[in-house]
Structure 1
Amino acid sequence: MPLFARSLFKAPWGRLKDSEAMNVWLGMVVLLTVIWSLKAGVKPGLAFHLLGATVFTLTCGPHLAFVGLCLVLLGVTLNGAAGTLAYATNALLLAGVGVGVAYLFHRLASRFLPPHFFVYIFVNGFLGAAFSAISVGFAATVFLSLSGAYTWEYLVSDYFPYFMLLGFSEAWLSGMLITLFVVYRPNWVATFDDSRYLANK
């Protein structure tokens, strides 16, 4: 493996072999590319799909999650499901905001809440995923309104409320996957530490 790739995967996944870390990371990129291709929309530019940013962030760390989601968006864009000229904007809104909110939520929970297994699962996996999806929806609503694509009134009444429902779906899926990963493959989850969340409990 090239030195760059080795250093890239050693930083967040020091406990894993490089080949296993790369397989997990690439597998998540492929899986999310399929999930992002399954979307619904009400009007041009107003599409909805599951995000997966929280699972990616908790599993790989924020840096690899952002790079991975940008690759997911690149695959979706090359497949014709997203506008080529809007790639940078979509990457900032979907990958940047999604990963940023998920990681901020994780850091705040680690700092202010007790280090308990169920706190990690429910706060990071469920609540963090919901807030991440809703934050992406709010950021997209503000951007579309400021760009003049749609009016603020229309977006708030007919676009943003769907992200509240999407947040519930995102929370359920992300929480389930993080629970399975932590129980059966805890070494895949870079932000989970056995000594912190399980020792002396």
Structure 2
Amino acid sequence: MNLPAAFFPLWVQWSTLLAALGLLGWAASRVRWRGLDHVALNAWLGACVLTMAMWMMKGGLKPGLSFHLLGAAILTLMMGHWLALLALAIVLAGVTAYGAGDWLALGLNFWLMAVLPVTLVSTVLRLTQRLLPPNLFIYVFVGAFLAGGASLFATGLAGIAVLGMAGAYPWDELLSEALPFYFLLSWSEAFTSGLIMAILIVYRPRWVATFDDSRYLDDNSDPGA
């Protein structure tokens, strides 16, 4: 979903853009750049390119109602919260530069397609780490599969709400024609996120910043139990 600028007043376009730039500056300040693994960093840059290509392979009904995989869960689990926001900003800027978006709507799209899904996935990850056992299956199924699907559906639902409140399309049209597509696509997002993260933690765990071998793979059971 890449919302056109024409649907929104100028003050919404500029306020969301300035707020997005402020958040990106804060995100950049929270990243420990000197401590980044150069191997993982190369993998993350490659993930940005692949995500950009995935966003370009889309279908759509009307302007603002496009359907494509999001990849936010994969980027969040690979990079962590702050780097994932920066990565999705790069992806969104690249897609916009290609001509698939409006620069004035960049801020609004960033909040919908980056901040919302990344925050949701990060929150699910923290809750599973706090409330559930340190189990590899839980990490993949809840943190990647379920959170990945939920992130896309939440983004689609938020986009529909924004379009409806802006008066871009009638509510009944949005709910009957667009919402079912996002629901169905969320299962593809869930499967893709879960599969890719399962492969990465098996073959390239060094690329996954949120995966800790000592937490998920070590035998923490009490031998005297």
Instruction: Give the TM-score taking structure 2 as reference length.
Output: 0.81
Which runs of at least 4 in structure 1 moved beyond 3 Å after TM superposition?
7-11
Aligned position for 2:152:
133
Pair 1:29-2:48 in alignment = yes
Query: How far apart are residue 116 of structure 1 and its match?
Result: 0.4
* 2:91 paired with 1:72: yes
Using the aligned pairs only, state the percent identity. 45
Residues 152-186 of structure 1 show CA distances to partners (whole Å, capped at 9, x for unaligned) of 21111111111111110001111111001100111
Distance 1:162 1:104 in 2: 25
Paired position in structure 1 for 2:196: 177
Alpha carbons of structure 1 residues 115 and 160: separation in structure 2 relative to 1, 3 Å: same
Cα displacement string for residues 26-55 of structure 1 (whole angstroms, at most 9, x for unaligned residues): 111111111101110011111011000000
Q: Distance in 1 between matches of 2:41 and 2:90?
A: 14
Distance in 1 (alpha carbons) for counterparts of 2:46 and 2:39: 10
Counterpart residue type for residue 63 of structure 2: P
| Cα displacement string for residues 90-113 of structure 1 (whole angstroms, at most 9, x for unaligned residues) | 111001111111111111111111
* 1:187 maps to 2:219: no
Q: Distance in 1 between matches of 2:190 and 2:129?
A: 19
Alignment map for 1:1-201 (pairs within 5 Å): 8=31, 10=33, 14=35, 17=37, 19-200=38-219
Q: CA RMSD in A?
A: 1.6
Give CA-to-partner distance per residue, 1:35-84, whole Å, 9 cap, x none: 10111001111101100000000000010001100110000001001122
1:9 Cα deviation after fit: 5.1
Q: 1:9, 1:22 within 8 Å by CA — same for their partners in 2?
A: no
Which residue identity does 2:194 align to in structure 1?
A: G
Larger Rg: 2
- Answer whether contact 2:40 2:206 (CA < 8 A) is retained: no
- Cα drift, residue 191 of structure 1: 0.8
Task: Give the gaps of 5 or more residues in structure 2.
Answer: 1-27, 221-225
Q: State the aligned residue count.
A: 192
Q: CA separation in 2, counterparts of 1:108 and 1:157?
A: 33
